[in-house]
Amino acid sequence: MSRNKSRKINENAPKKQPRTKKQDRVVAGKKQNSGNKPGSRHDEKQIQQTQSGAARAKDPRHGSKKPVALNLPAVKPVEKKPAAPKMSDEQKLLKLEDDPRLNSLLDMLEEGKTLNAADQSWLDKQLTEIERLMERLGINEEDDLEHVMKTTATSDDDLLEKFESGADLLKDYQRKD
């Protein structure tokens, strides 16, 4: 059988709070009458009443009243490139002569192929730069050709003679120690 619950309140049951009027009730957690009114910082009447004459003249809470221009001309930021160490003329010349694009274009010219206008102008610019650097260093094409001819051997006998003279130099060096 099920148990019947009664709705009667006995002495041990929790008691109800007595009724209070609406105006007497205080909402828990809400602070009443604390702080300044909203917008009190900008209320000039209230500021003038609370401050003395010297402070009334300049209020630090109020910023400058000076108008600000909103449309300034656009200024592009200047990018500074890191300063690279300056190369000597000899280093510049070696760098230009070792350029793979320059070498490939010169090879194409030697094969008899024609270059487009952009490649031809770039090649001309590089060659004039090389000539300018060679003049500054005092290097002539004739001197360069003579040096190449001296260093390259014309026959196998010259190569063998060069090898043997190197061997003699090595023996002399070993004897000194």
Per-residue model confidence as pLDDT tens for the chain (177 residues): 577 776 677 778 777 888 888 878 766 666 666 676 777 667 777 777 766 555 555 666 667 778 888 887 787 878 887 777 787 888 888 888 888 999 899 899 889 888 899 999 999 999 999 888 888 888 776 665 566 566 664 677 777 777 777 777 777 777 776
Q: Tell me the residue type at 19.
A: R
In Å, what is the CA distance from 25 to each residue of 18, 19, 20, 21? Answer: 12, 10, 7, 7
Q: Is the dihedral of CA 52, 54, 56, 62 positive or negative?
A: negative
Q: In the numeric block, which tokens belong to residue 100?
A: 């793979």
Q: What is the pTM of this model?
A: 0.36
Domain boundaries defined on the chain: 86-139, 141-177
